Amino acid sequence: MTKPTIVFDLDGTLAHTAPDILGTLDHILAREGLPTLPHTEAIGLAGAGARALLKRAFTVSNMPLPETRLETLFEDYLAHYETRIAERSHLFPGAEMALKTLSADGHDLAVCTNKTERLAILLLEKLGVADYFKAICGRDSFAYQKPDARHLTSTIQKAGGLPHHAIMIGDTRTDIDTARNAKLPVIGVRFGYSDTPIDTLAPDLLIDHFNELHAAIRTISLSTAR
């Protein structure tokens, strides 16, 4: 039987990217003369994208942020972030070994992220793992984004898999909702950036470390094969 395609979220799932995401936010806010957000507060938005971070920072400072200004700051954010995209970001412990093991076991791997596709590819290249993935799809890869199920199912198809024969791995409500919308099983990681305790979001299984992933995928594969 064909093994399920394994689709990973990126920020907060495969890689700890918050230091560079929030460092870029600090740079933009300092340039604008605004106080920075405490990282303990902002990390819950690290996987939500730069627009969400910028909106939050301006709201906290009681500063208006018209849509046109937001878009300008967003472009500035992306330009600066690209220069430091892997300065302090790194894979979570055990992630690369998990990718290697799953690939050797016959699974096709993919990434489905709300980062732009170009930045997602650049980050994974710099982290040395881009070649493990049959598809790396971002918020601009298709006409829809997570939690729209089509972002996930289109990523699976681009990786050469069957859209209803896959497992999602993620760290936030968005990832879990995306998998549910696609009627696919989802494994949650407890070490990510969820602003809600991920246990309360009821993924099919939860892991605390990537060394538990292979067994979790096997458990789900066996249960869905019955």
Please identify which residue in the block is written with the tokens 């992306």. 78
Mean pLDDT of 162-174: 96
In this structure, what token pair is assigned to residue 17? 């990217």
* Identity of the residue numbered 92: F
Band the pLDDT of 16: cuts 50, 70, 90. Answer: very high
Task: List residues with catalytic annotation.
Answer: 9
Residue 225 scores a pLDDT above 70: no
Predicted pLDDT of residue 78: 94
Band the pLDDT of 226: cuts 50, 70, 90. Answer: low
Predicted pLDDT of residue 60: 85
CB 169 within 8 A of CB 6: yes
Cβ-based burial of 64 (10 A; exposed 0-12, middle 13-18, buried ≥19): exposed
Taking only the tens place, the pLDDT of each residue in 176-214 is 999 999 999 999 999 999 988 999 999 999 999 999 999
Q: What is the mean pLDDT of the chain?
A: 94
Among the ranges given (12-16, 19-23, 43-47, 82-86), the one the predictor scored with the smallest mean pLDDT: 43-47
Taking only the tens place, the pLDDT of each residue in 94-150 is 999 999 999 999 999 999 999 999 999 999 999 999 999 999 999 999 999 999 999
Residue 49 scores a pLDDT above 80: no
Predicted pLDDT of residue 187: 98
Residue from 4, 13, 3 nearest 169 by CA: 13
Taking only the tens place, the pLDDT of each residue in 18-45 is 999 999 999 999 999 998 888 887 787 7
Residue from 7, 6, 36, 1 nearest 21 by CA: 36
